[in-house]
């Protein structure tokens, strides 16, 4: 007999657990139905396609990575915000080991634009918060201006440098020291 799940969120939580224990490559409609101990039809009632299942699961993982710790951009300086970002990304990488490095590989064919759009939305949200903090750092902004480096380009570089360090299990000390010398 199949158990009745209470909500779509319950199924998404099971999808996240499946990703944590078996990896993203194992996330599919049949595997999730088995994990939830429900019929395949039940999963299709909530997720009409594998693409929708993947996209919503990835969105829940992004939320989990960034919303477990709240950052008060208005009360933090630029380095504190970067520390928050690094902590979120490192914790997320521990919980979901290959999520950052293989995010786009989880999607195939028609799923790729949806996956990229979702990742882009999360990074744009972060970028806006970090930009507001950066703009309060007058010395750093002046240094960027002097060297003709756009604030958004600088933030993109810093975010992707952090992601690269974390996915490749490297320290971020050099990046932080470079920023400190600019400020």
* pLDDT for position 7: 83
* pLDDT tens column, 98-117: 777 666 566 555 555 666 67
C-alpha of 47 from chain center: 21
Which range is least confidently modeled, 55-64, 107-116, 145-154, 172-181?
107-116
* Tokens coding 174: 């050099």
Residue 67 pLDDT greater than 80, yes or no: no
| pTM of the full structure | 0.78
Report the alpha-carbon distance of residue 143 to residue 36 in Å, rounded. Answer: 54
Phi and psi torsions of 33, nearest 5°: -60, -40
Tokens 């990229």, residue located: 116
Residue 1 pLDDT greater than 50, yes or no: no
* pLDDT for position 103: 62
CB 47 within 8 A of CB 53: yes
* pLDDT tens column, 68-92: 677 776 788 899 989 888 988 888 8
Instruction: Check residues 65 and 120 and name the one with the higher pLDDT.
Output: 65
Instruction: Check residues 2 and 49 and name the one with the higher pLDDT.
Output: 49
- Other Cβ atoms closer than 10 A to 78: 22
Report the alpha-carbon distance of residue 133 to residue 74 in Å, rounded. Answer: 7
Q: Which residues contact 69 (CB under 8 A, 6 or more apart)?
A: 84, 87, 88, 91
Computed over every residue of the chain, the mean pLDDT equals 83
Instruction: Check residues 10 and 100 and name the one with the higher pLDDT.
Output: 10
Residue 11 pLDDT greater than 60, yes or no: yes
């Amino acid at each position: 007999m199949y158990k009745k799940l209470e909500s779509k969120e319950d199924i998404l939580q099971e999808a996240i657990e499946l990703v944590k224990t078996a990896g993203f490559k194992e996330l599919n409609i049949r595997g999730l139905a088995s994990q939830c101990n429900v019929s395949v039809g039940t999963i299709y009632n909530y997720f009409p396609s594998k693409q929708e299942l993947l996209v919503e699961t990835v969105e829940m993982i992004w939320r989990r990575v960034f919303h477990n710790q709240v950052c008060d951009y208005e009360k933090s300086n630029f380095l504190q915000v970067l520390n928050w970002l690094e902590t979120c990304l490192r914790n997320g990488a521990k919980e979901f080991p290959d999520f950052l490095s293989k995010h786009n590989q989880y999607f195939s064919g028609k799923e790729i634009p949806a996956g990229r759009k979702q990742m882009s939305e999360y990074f744009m949200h972060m970028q806006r918060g970090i930009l507001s903090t950066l703009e309060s750092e007058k010395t750093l902004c002046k240094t960027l201006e002097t060297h003709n480096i756009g604030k958004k380009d600088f933030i993109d570089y810093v975010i992707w440098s952090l992601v690269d360090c974390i996915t490749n299990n490297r320290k971020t000390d050099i990046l932080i020291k470079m920023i400190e010398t600019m400020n």
